[in-house]
């Protein structure tokens, strides 16, 4: 028996976390198609029966991993979910949020893809904390004077997240090192901002982002200041 297995059965919470850590490592390495409970149990240092006690099926293990990704993504992009509350539209730094999402996606490409696939297959996407905050933020934005008319927040959310989570897979095939991956991540964030700025956002209301994109903003109409 390995040292990793000693006394682990007496601490169910630690055992569960060890299994999830192993699952995340294998999912990041091989993707969902290459994972099995047996391999996860072996990497976690527990026997297969113990792994099945915590996660009855491979699908439940992948779903639990997606929940973990959602929590980490929420913290990386929005902050502590216990204290954030419902933010006003004016309090959201759109450029910074876009940068944070792109960075997280570049650093966790396989895990983000797994999360997205789980979300798309979910009968209740709003049960996922990250999606609830992300889509909710876009919906509040769509309802404000800062947005163009008739923005579909749900469609926009899927388009933005799909692009953010699929781009790193492309980048991995075309970048030779960390520096190039970071450059590709910045390109993604920049183009996401450009699409939003000239699609769903009233560009004159965001002079700082216009300046970042190399455009001179038009004066803000009086109606948008009200």
What CATH number should be reported for the domain whose range is 1-56?
1.10.10.60
pLDDT tens profile 23-75: 988 887 777 777 888 999 999 999 989 999 999 898 889 888 889 889 999 99
User: In this predicted structure, what is the pLDDT of residue 226?
Assistant: 36
Residues 6+ apart with CB under 8 A from 78: 84, 97, 130, 133
Would you list the domain boundaries of the chain? 1-56, 59-225
Mean predicted lDDT score pLDDT of the chain: 83
Contact call for residues 27 and 45 (beta carbons, < 8 A): no
Element holding 197 (H helix, E strand) = helix 178-197
Q: What's this model's pTM, rounded to 2 decimal places? A: 0.76
Q: Which CATH class is domain 59-225?
A: mainly alpha
User: In this predicted structure, what is the pLDDT of residue 129?
Assistant: 92
167 C-beta neighbours (distance < 10 Å), count: 21
User: In this predicted structure, what is the pLDDT of residue 143?
Assistant: 92
pLDDT (average), residues 158-180: 82
Give the confidence band of 3 by pLDDT, cuts at 50, 70, 90: very low
130 C-beta neighbours (distance < 10 Å), count: 24
């Amino acid at each position: 028996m390995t040292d990793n297995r000693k006394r682990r059965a007496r601490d169910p919470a630690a055992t569960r976390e060890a299994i999830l850590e192993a699952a995340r490592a294998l999912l990041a390495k091989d993707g969902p198609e290459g994972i099995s409970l047996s391999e996860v149990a072996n990497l976690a240092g527990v026997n297969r029966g113990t792994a099945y006690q915590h996660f009855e099926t491979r699908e439940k293990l992948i779903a639990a991993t997606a929940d973990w990704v959602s929590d980490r993504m929420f913290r990386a992009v929005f902050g502590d979910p216990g204290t954030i509350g419902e933010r006003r539209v004016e309090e959201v730094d759109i450029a910074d949020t876009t940068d944070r999402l792109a960075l997280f996606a570049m650093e966790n490409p396989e895990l983000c893809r797994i999360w997205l696939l789980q979300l798309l297959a979910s009968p209740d996407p709003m049960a996922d904390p990250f999606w609830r905050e992300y889509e909710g933020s876009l919906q509040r934005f769509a309802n404000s004077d800062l947005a163009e008319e008739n923005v579909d927040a749900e469609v926009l959310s899927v388009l933005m997240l799909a692009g953010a989570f699929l781009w790193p897979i492309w980048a991995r095939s075309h970048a030779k090192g960390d520096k190039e991956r970071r450059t590709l991540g910045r390109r993604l964030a920049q183009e996401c901002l450009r699409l939003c700025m000239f699609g769903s956002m009233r560009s004159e209301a965001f002079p700082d982002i216009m300046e970042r994109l190399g455009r001179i903003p038009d004066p803000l109409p009086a109606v948008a200041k009200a």
